[in-house]
Structure 1
C-alpha cells in the first residue's frame, strides 16, 4: 500500500472515530442565580438572570433578591463588572411571575438606583405593582401610571398567553402561561426562547390535583414537543416543602412527591426516554428546619424519570 493510501486510511479512521463520539452539548443560555430560596431569608429570595450565551444582556426571572445576589455573583466571579453596572446596564428588564414580596422585593428596593427598563408579566401582576407598591404610600411611584407624579422609570409590558414577545434589548423572546398559586391567586410561567432553544421558568405553583386546575397540564402539552426534540434546555420549577407538609398547608406550592407527579405527566406526553437527563432546576425551597436537605434527598431518591436535578446556589453561574 502506498504512503498516500496509508494517509487516506488514517483520515478515514479518525473521521469514523469522531462520528461515533457523543455530541458535546453547546451552551445556549447563561443563568446566574441571584436568589434561590422561598421566603424566610430576605437576602436570598427567588431571582434568576438569563441571557443568550455569549451576551451580557440579561432578563431577570423574578426579582426577590437583586443587589445581595449580584454581590455574591461578583464575589464568585460570575460577573466581572461592578454591582451597580450590572444592575443598571446588564439587566435589561424583568419577567415577574407574581407580585408576592419574595419575588419583587429586590426590584422595589433597588428601583431608586436602577435605569429605565421594561417589566413583563400578566396584567394582574403589573396592576398590583402599580396600585399596591408604586403608589407613593408603600413606595415612590416608579411606574407609568397611578398616583402623581408617575416617575415612569419602569415601563409595564403586559403579556398575553398564547403570543410570543421579544424581550427588549436582548436576543430573547418569551411566552407566558398562567399558573395557580392557591385558590383564586394567579402566578405565571415564562417560556424563554433563543433561536430554536428554550428555557422554562415557573413561578410559584400548586399541583393541578390540589389546585383543581389544568394549568400545568396545558403547559406540559405545549412543552412536550420541545422535550421530545431536545429543544428544552432547562426547566426551573419549585419544591417549597418536603413531603411531610400537609396538603391543606401547602398554600399553592409543591412538594417533591407532587413535583414528581407533575413531571410524570410531562413524561407521559413527551415520552420517558426524552426526559432522561433533562436539567430540572429546583427553586423556592423554604429555608426552615431541615427543609432544603429533605427536599433534595426526597427528589433524588424517587427520581425514576432520571431527570438531572439541579439545586442552585446563590451567586452561581449555570450554563444550559
Structure 2
C-alpha cells in the first residue's frame, strides 16, 4: 500500500511539474514541431495585464507575429521570467533591455482579430516605444481601430492612415478574406476569415510551407449567430488538411455551459466549441479525424466573484465533452508551446 501511495505521489509531482512548465511541446506524434507559441495573455474579460495576446513564429526563424495584443509588454516580461525566450538568440539592445529588444526587434507585426480594447490595448500603450512594423486586419477592423483609438483623442495616430497628424510607425494592411498575404520580415503568410461577434472579428490561418496554425478571435457559434462563418472556415481547413499539416489552433471558450445563448454576446461555451469541432471533423471524414489535434483554449473570462473559478469549471466541461480525442490545452501567461 505504501508503495502504491508513493508511486501515486510521484506521478502527481510529475504532472504538476509539466502543468507549470513554461516550455511544453504539445505534440501527439514523432513529427518535429514547426511552430512556437508564447502566451502573453490568456484571459478574456476584466483582468488587466493578462488579456488576449500570443506570439507565434516558425521554428526556422527568430521573428514572431503577435496574435492580438490585449497585453504586450507585461506579457513579454512575465514570459521572460518563465524562460519562454530561452531558446531565442537575442542580441540585447543596451538601451531597450531584453523586453524592449524582443518587442522592437523580434515582433515583426500584429494580426488583430477585432477592435475591442481587450485585444488591442497592449499595442496601443506600447506604441510610443515600439518599432516600425505592420498591422494586419480585415478592413473593417483597421477602420475601427483608426476611428476609435488612432484619432488624436483616445490616442495619437501612430499609423500611416486616417486622422492627421500621422506618425507613420505602423503600416496598416487590409487583409482580403480568403486571400493569402505574406507577413513582412517573417517566413509566414496569413489568410483571414470573418467571424461573428458584435463587431466583425477574424480568424487567421497562418502557414509556413506545408504547416498550418489557426488563431480565432472572439466568435459566436453558427447555431446562435446564423451566419455560417465558422462553417466556411471548417470547409476551407478540411480541404487544406488533405495535403498540409494542421499543427494546432487557438480558439476561445469564454463562458461555462450554463450561460444562456442570448447572453453569449458572440462567444463560445465548452459544449458549443465541441459542437463546432464536431462539424469540422464531419467535413474531414473518417474515424476521429481530429484525434490528437492541439486545441489551445483562450479568452476564458476572469471573474472577481468570490468562490468562482471559471477556468476550472470550463476545463472540466471541455474534458467531459471531448469525444473527438483532441488535445485540450489550457494555457497560462508566460508559457511557451511548440506544435
TM-score above 0.5, yes or no: yes
Report whether the alignment pairs 1:312 with 2:331. yes
> 2:207 matched to which residue of 1?
193
Distance 2:99 2:275 in 1: 40
Distance 2:270 2:241 in 1: 21
Give how far 1:23 is off: 6.0
- Aligned pairs (5 A) from 1:279-290: 279-288=294-303, 289-290=308-309
Distance 1:173 1:227 in 2: 17
Larger radius of gyration: 1
> 1:76 matched to which residue of 2?
82
Report whether the alignment pairs 1:268 with 2:286. no
Q: Is the contact made by 2:161 and 2:172 (CA closer than 8 Å) also made in structure 1?
A: no
Q: Spell out structure 1 runs of 4+ moving beyond 6 A.
A: none
Report whether the alignment pairs 1:295 with 2:314. yes
Report whether the alignment pairs 1:35 with 2:41. yes
Distance verdict in 2 for CA 1:68–1:228, change over 3 Å: same
Alignment match of 1:158 (pick from 174, 191, 206): 174
> 1:235 matched to which residue of 2?
249
Q: Which moved more, 1:272-281 or 1:111-120?
A: 272-281
Alignment match of 1:149 (pick from 151, 161, 165): 165
> 2:64 matched to which residue of 1?
58
Q: What runs of 5+ residues in structure 1 fail to find an aligned partner?
A: 1-21
Q: Is the contact made by 2:255 and 2:301 (CA closer than 8 Å) also made in structure 1?
A: yes
Q: Is the contact made by 1:179 and 1:205 (CA closer than 8 Å) also made in structure 2?
A: yes
Give how far 1:204 is off: 0.2
Give how far 1:229 is off: 4.9
Q: Is the contact made by 1:31 and 1:50 (CA closer than 8 Å) also made in structure 2?
A: yes
Distance verdict in 2 for CA 1:276–1:228, change over 3 Å: farther
Report whether the alignment pairs 1:87 with 2:103. yes
Give how far 1:62 is off: 0.3
Give how far 1:268 is off: 0.5
Q: Is the contact made by 2:248 and 2:294 (CA closer than 8 Å) also made in structure 1?
A: yes
Give how far 1:227 is off: 3.7
Alignment match of 1:126 (pick from 142, 147, 160): 142
Q: Is the contact made by 2:79 and 2:85 (CA closer than 8 Å) also made in structure 1?
A: yes
Distance verdict in 2 for CA 1:23–1:120, change over 3 Å: closer
Distance verdict in 2 for CA 1:211–1:23, change over 3 Å: closer
Distance 1:164 1:178 in 2: 14
SS of residue in 2 equivalent to 1:174:
strand
> 2:230 matched to which residue of 1?
216
CA deviation vs aligned residue, 1:234-256 (integer Å, no higher than 9, x gap): 01110000001111110000000
Distance verdict in 2 for CA 1:41–1:296, change over 3 Å: same
Q: TM-score, normalised on structure 2?
A: 0.85
Q: Is the contact made by 1:123 and 1:158 (CA closer than 8 Å) also made in structure 2?
A: yes
Distance 2:77 2:178 in 1: 36
Distance 2:266 2:145 in 1: 21
Distance 1:200 1:298 in 2: 23
Give how far 1:147 is off: 2.6
> 2:185 matched to which residue of 1?
169
Give how far 1:228 is off: 4.7
Distance verdict in 2 for CA 1:225–1:145, change over 3 Å: closer
SS of residue in 1 equivalent to 2:190:
strand
SS of residue in 2 equivalent to 1:275:
coil
Q: What is the total number of aligned residue pairs between the two structures? A: 297
Distance 1:177 1:28 in 2: 23
**Aligned residues: CA RMSD:** 1.3
